[in-house]
Structure 1
Amino acid sequence: MKTSTWILLIIGFLNQTIVLAQLPPIFEATRAPQAQTEATTRRYLPPVRILWKTPNAAIQNEQVLLKPGNGQADLSGKDLCRLKSTDTQKPGLLLDFGKELHGGLQIVTGMWPGNKPITVRLRFGESVSEAMSDIEPTQNATNDHAMRDLIVQVPWLGKLEIGNTGFRFVRIDVVDSNVELALKEVRAIFIFRDIPYLGSFRSSDTLLNQIWETGAYTVHLNMQDYLWDGIKRDRLVWVGDMHPEVSTINTVFGYNDVVPKSLDLSRDITPLPQWMNGISTYSMWWIIIHRDWYRQHGDLKYLREQREYLVKLLELLSTKIDEQNREKLDGRFLDWPSSENKEGIHAGLQAMMVLALQAGAELAGILGEKAAVSTCEEALGRLRRYIPNPNHSKQAAALLALAGLMPAEQANREVLAVDGARHFSTFYGYYMLQAKAQAGDYQGALDNIREYWGAMLQLGATTFWEDFNLDWLPNASRIDRLAQPGQKDIHGDYGAYCYVGFRHSLAHGWASGPTPWLTEHVLGIKVMEPGCKVIQVEPHLGDLTFAEGTFPTPHGLVKVKHTKRPDGRVQSDISAPKQVKIIRPKQ
């Protein structure tokens, strides 16, 4: 070949290379600094049990699905689960992955005659009964927010990944007639933030330990790209619901950017005078969360970014008081169980105004906004002149006590302690516990935690639920078993308002209140100055013989261990980073 020909070939190759390097602008945009990156990671988990299969169906070797897999189809044809359908029988399996998860499903297939895809139906469920249900109105199974009941095709000798929801159980049914589905693997795709559990709690009561851990895990699952309230339904940023979740995050994980990211989203999509999520209390919770976040992390730069919105929101709230010093808010809501008690809602809103304006005054003072501080103080002075009746609402009584509008001892005696944990709620249960602590009824609060949150665990829960009522307990089925004849289906037969039947979320972050409560009041760890520069330790063991744990600060972990002596006094051993001053308990 002539030299000139080589030169022409080389030039042509170089030109081709240059052309190939000139990628479309839309591709280049993904390389920009502002391009979003995933905050979550993925793990693949095999099921731990096969709970059910179609009776008398042609199903072979299903136990192979319980083995760890590698996600790779192969030509060996070995160790395959086979489901053979006919014109009259369509085989199916119900898999249990052992614990509530967020994510989807990976299906790896083998070979079958015809080399064509096979149609299957997938049903994800937070309970056994939900995974076995149909989309129909009787028990309200839905595909709201996330697809959990869908028909798809799986490839011959390949892999399909599908689903993005909250679940523990998955049912797989063959839809096509006269086919043989060969399954090599069916694994859960677990999507979560891979972050350490820095906080911890351990005591002489294993039930309380499990409750603390379950609250932490429930919130962890909801820490996705944003901080959601539920991983199956309510995959949204609900600002009020965030408050117990942020309290749990501060207690367990320390700083995580999912919190400011979610707070800022709510601010940016809610121009004033609108309320966040259309609810006045949720804008107030936004203020309270910022106060708590600043106390924990001491991030003045981030707080300053809220200045303009915060000042205007405080001004707006100050206008929502009538001539009798009563709140006159719209967007009226505390939580669902209290939503029919108008007097209770009014009392709760009056208290929320006080709590929000107190937090707002504190933040405005830090920001040097003297006029905003004066606005808050004037409004607080007016609100405190009017004390509404809680009307037997535990939600309202708790808020009135925390706002200082009602003596905590009176609120506890007359409302909160009546009938134990009956009329508790998963969301406002946190504030009921806080008010009981303010009243000095630590033992009563521990009993309520065991009775209410412990009952969910006894029913098979691995995460805490959107709602729960102790009246549901008699003759109720567990969520990890099929209801037997005569039993009530705890998932499908109960629920109200927006969470009737299977629409009810069984992994709701607002239900995590016992986790921060146990750390704050049993371990006794309370932040006294921004950035955890000063922490007070004042344990309340109640009937526990010991309690120990850790608490994350911006400077490292505070570690405590409290042991009850034979004379009833508590011995406390405490260690902390040198940047954290500890106010120690009296021995």
Structure 2
Amino acid sequence: MKRALSLIAILVSITLTGFAQNQATWIWYPGDFEIWLGNNMQNRRTERGTFLPPFWKLDSHYNLIDFHKDFDLAQPEEVDLFVEGKYNVKIDGKAFSGYPKRITVPAGKHKVSLKVFCQDRVPAIYVRGKNVVSDGSWLVTFEDKEWIDETGKASDQSGTTWLKAGSWNFNDPQQPPSKFKLNTKELSAVNATKKAGSLLLDFGRETFGFIKLKGLTGKGQVTIYYGESREEALATETCETTDHLEIDLTQKRDSIMELTKAFRYVNVQFDGSVSIDSVSMLYEYLPVADRGSFRCSDEQINKIYDVAAYTLHLNTREFFIDGIKRDRWIWSGDAYQSYLMNYYLLFDSPSVTRTLLALRGKDPVTSHINTIMDYTFYWFIGIYDYYQYTGDKTFIQQFYPRMQSLMNYCLSRRNKNGLLEGLAGDWVFIDWADGLSKKGEVSFEQLLFARSLETMALCATIVNDTPNAATYSQLAADVKTKLFTNYWSDSKQALVHSRVDGVPTQNVTRYANMFAIFFNYLDDPKKQAIKQHVLLNPEVPKITTPYMRFYELEALCALGEQSYVTKEIKDYWGGMLNLGATSFWEEYNPAKKGAEHYAMYGREFGKSLCHAWGASPIYLLGKYYLGVKPTAPAYATYSIEPQLGGLQWIDGKVPTPDGDVSVYCSTKEIKVTGAGGIGTLRFKSKIKPVSKQAAIRLVSSGLYEMTVEKGKNYQVNYQL
């Protein structure tokens, strides 16, 4: 039984330049498909058969949409129409009767319009002619503010806001957006233990999909217990996810479970006269290929990279989700890290924009994203990074009004000091950490707020909203000034954690301090002070989640401490591998023993053993070891600063919108291949370096650089 619509035929390479000329595709109001799909996906969560919906507001798509485009045809054209919903179609304002499947557009200049109503799906159209085709250049609106007076005359002016249509990769008229499913492929267990009335299967590693019971017959009950660990699958009273079937079959048949589950082990229990020939699974996945890569002289680091890549793939689904077993929701903080990993492994822009749009939803804004203050700010910062890596101005131009309304909500919740603190309905998350205070004006929230305002200033400039660009810039500067005035402690040589009733606390945590480093908010003396007094200080409470280890290690890399970070990656992520991890976890505390590692949230198996934020080595190794990062949007200019971090050699690729940057570095040789844009290779050498392919410039004592052009190969002989 085929559970998923194959995407092989419809998933095509998407670039920032859009679809090929005259390629028809399904189109809709921008952001609506993402919201509709997100609602469907996030309401598939169950816990031991109980439906568990999200606890934040879910918006809906607009159910009545007007589509149009002007064409200038040299000759008449036959055009086929495919529509999701009820519709009328007009040429130059004159409607056809009924629901035509084909129309003729006369030669000359004409406006083709469709108005579509659909409640249960997103109103969408597919228009296919020789030149008249539906694509992202069509204009759409959800409210037509035209009117006709008593004489029948149409209004001379319009208040309608038209946007460019949304689209993805639905290029087959028989496969509309409403039929979207991820791909599946059948896999078998690597080991099966069969006993009377039970089957225990091991699929070899963490995986995700539908369990398939083959040759099912008889009468009785079948219960399936899923486990990310063997212990969980055998814990029939406390495992997190189950399936239950009542069977009454006289002839053998196959049965596929209705909902996907995450598991490595599956415990199938059955009674009565039920018999099962075998059990397999349909592995569900988004078919997106790796473009980035990394290899080095340390095999454990290579294994960590591979498992991190697999972890990210498992959590790259309709959207970037947090973890495949438990929530399977779109959490903004988790997704933000996935965006960054994506830029160094997949470079799949549609996955980023789908996730951003599903998270944002519609106006009016009634709460923070996911109800979490910091998660709202990660949403803004995610747009800042998206533009830097992709250069996609269209996304910002389309959704700037939603950015504004969300920022207005944040600004409305400032206190008398112009700062933010948790109000009724706000969840100040920061991190899972015992005893972490969320009271008062937390420095970490102000820092994220400042970066979000900088994002708004950037976006306002892109859409030519000059007055607000100046306003957002000034607000960002004010918040940054208050951050260092109110929270910097000369005695602690760090930003303190919070202020309560206007008085700074003496508590120092790592969060604001490490973000301030890679946001480049600090001068060099303050950076060095934080490195010694916070990041390398064992007295400051340690971080135990991969979520915040991500940022802690990024800050250390930004300070040039790659050798230290290499050891930390090996100890922390290598520690999970040593315990048998096949994907990286939501939380890892080396002090725990045995099955203690599986517990969280007061539940024996509450922890996710496949969590997106566990895959951060992808980003760290690409950005801070291979050393590739954009210095202008879309890699128009970029830097390459390879760092071995104590390794003997590193070798890999970093994807960009226009090709991949390849980097090899050892203690004596550097090889690079440029992508689109102009790159700058920068490195240190004890001797005068030599290259036959380009001139090398001396920057300062022992520091050199050279220009890297698109598609050209360079080799440098040097001495580290």
TM over 0.5: yes
Are residues 26 and 356 of structure 1, via their aligned partners in 2, closer, same or farther at CA, if it must alter by over 3 Å? Answer: closer
1:409-459 superposed Cα distances (whole Å, 9 cap, x missing partner)? 222222222349942322111111111122222222222211112111111
- Range that drifts further, 378-387 or 234-243: 378-387
Tell me what 1:255 maps to: 348
Q: Structure 1 residue aligned with 2:671, among 573, 584, 587?
A: 573
Whichever residue aligns with residue 373 of structure 1, its letter is A
Are residues 294 and 512 of structure 1, via their aligned partners in 2, closer, same or farther at CA, if it must alter by over 3 Å? Answer: same
Q: Does 1:35 align with 2:177?
A: yes
Whichever residue aligns with residue 206 of structure 2, its letter is E
- Look up the SS of the partner of 1:469 in the other structure: coil
Q: Structure 2 residue aligned with 1:134, among 236, 246, 270?
A: 236
Aligned partners of 2:275 and 2:627: how far apart in 1? 57
Whichever residue aligns with residue 382 of structure 1, its letter is D
Q: Does 1:120 align with 2:213?
A: no
Q: CA deviation at 1:573?
A: 0.8
Tell me what 2:452 maps to: 356
Structure with the bigger percentage of strand: 2
Q: Structure 1 residue aligned with 2:549, among 423, 429, 444?
A: 429
Q: CA deviation at 1:495?
A: 2.3
Aligned partners of 1:152 and 1:525: how far apart in 2? 56
Tell me what 1:158 maps to: 253
Q: Does 1:559 align with 2:662?
A: yes
Q: Does 1:47 align with 2:144?
A: no
1:541-585 superposed Cα distances (whole Å, 9 cap, x missing partner)? 1110111111111212211111112xxxxx2211123x3211112
Tell me what 1:199 maps to: 292
- Look up the SS of the partner of 1:335 in the other structure: coil
Whichever residue aligns with residue 508 of structure 1, its letter is H
In the alignment of these two chains, the number of paired residues is 490
Q: Structure 2 residue aligned with 1:545, among 648, 653, 676?
A: 648
- Look up the SS of the partner of 1:158 in the other structure: strand
- Look up the SS of the partner of 2:268 in the other structure: strand
- Range that drifts further, 307-316 or 195-204: 307-316
Q: Structure 1 residue aligned with 2:613, among 498, 510, 514?
A: 510
- Look up the SS of the partner of 1:585 in the other structure: strand
Tell me what 1:469 maps to: 589
Q: CA deviation at 1:190?
A: 0.3
**Matched-pair contact (CA < 8 Å) for 1:421–1:448:** no
**Matched-pair contact (CA < 8 Å) for 2:308–2:617:** yes
Aligned partners of 1:541 and 1:121: how far apart in 2? 51
**Matched-pair contact (CA < 8 Å) for 1:442–1:540:** yes
Q: Does 1:583 align with 2:702?
A: no
Aligned partners of 1:234 and 1:28: how far apart in 2? 24
Are residues 230 and 344 of structure 1, via their aligned partners in 2, closer, same or farther at CA, if it must alter by over 3 Å? Answer: farther
1:36-66 superposed Cα distances (whole Å, 9 cap, x missing partner)? 243521111111123x55xxxxx4xxxxxxx
Aligned partners of 1:396 and 1:264: how far apart in 2? 27
Q: Does 1:374 align with 2:470?
A: yes
Tell me what 2:83 maps to: none
**Matched-pair contact (CA < 8 Å) for 2:641–2:682:** yes
**Matched-pair contact (CA < 8 Å) for 2:286–2:317:** yes
- State the identity as a percent: 24
Tell me what 2:395 maps to: 302
User: Which residues of structure 2 form unaligned runs of 5+?
Assistant: 1-100, 102-117, 127-175, 488-495, 498-506, 684-688, 690-720
Are residues 458 and 555 of structure 1, via their aligned partners in 2, closer, same or farther at CA, if it must alter by over 3 Å? Answer: same
Are residues 154 and 447 of structure 1, via their aligned partners in 2, closer, same or farther at CA, if it must alter by over 3 Å? Answer: farther
Aligned partners of 2:516 and 2:544: how far apart in 1? 16
Alignment of 1:397-408 (within 5 A): 397-404=513-520, 407-408=526-527
Q: CA deviation at 1:349?
A: 0.9
Q: CA deviation at 1:244?
A: 0.8
Aligned partners of 1:98 and 1:584: how far apart in 2? 42
Tell me what 2:281 maps to: 188
Tell me what 1:495 maps to: 600
Aligned partners of 1:153 and 1:99: how far apart in 2? 30
**Matched-pair contact (CA < 8 Å) for 1:291–1:359:** yes
Aligned partners of 1:359 and 1:214: how far apart in 2? 33
Aligned partners of 2:183 and 2:323: how far apart in 1? 18
**Matched-pair contact (CA < 8 Å) for 1:318–1:379:** no
Q: Does 1:415 align with 2:522?
A: no
Q: CA deviation at 1:307?
A: 1.0
Are residues 552 and 27 of structure 1, via their aligned partners in 2, closer, same or farther at CA, if it must alter by over 3 Å? Answer: same
- Range that drifts further, 255-264 or 544-553: 255-264
Tell me what 2:367 maps to: 274
**Matched-pair contact (CA < 8 Å) for 2:397–2:462:** no
Q: CA deviation at 1:496?
A: 3.8
Are residues 584 and 393 of structure 1, via their aligned partners in 2, closer, same or farther at CA, if it must alter by over 3 Å? Answer: same
Q: CA deviation at 1:403?
A: 4.2
**Matched-pair contact (CA < 8 Å) for 2:421–2:440:** no
Whichever residue aligns with residue 453 of structure 1, its letter is W
Greater relative contact order (CA < 8 Å, ≥ 6 in sequence):
1
1:447-492 superposed Cα distances (whole Å, 9 cap, x missing partner)? 22111121111111111111222221xxx33xxxxxxxxxx4421x
Q: Does 1:385 align with 2:482?
A: yes
Tell me what 1:71 maps to: none
Q: CA deviation at 1:216?
A: 1.9
- Look up the SS of the partner of 1:265 in the other structure: helix
Structure with the bigger percentage of helix: 1
Aligned partners of 1:27 and 1:415: how far apart in 2? 53
Give TM-score scaled by structure 1 length: 0.77
Are residues 428 and 434 of structure 1, via their aligned partners in 2, closer, same or farther at CA, if it must alter by over 3 Å? Answer: same
Whichever residue aligns with residue 365 of structure 2, its letter is L
Aligned partners of 1:328 and 1:29: how far apart in 2? 38
Whichever residue aligns with residue 436 of structure 1, its letter is L
Q: CA deviation at 1:269?
A: 4.5
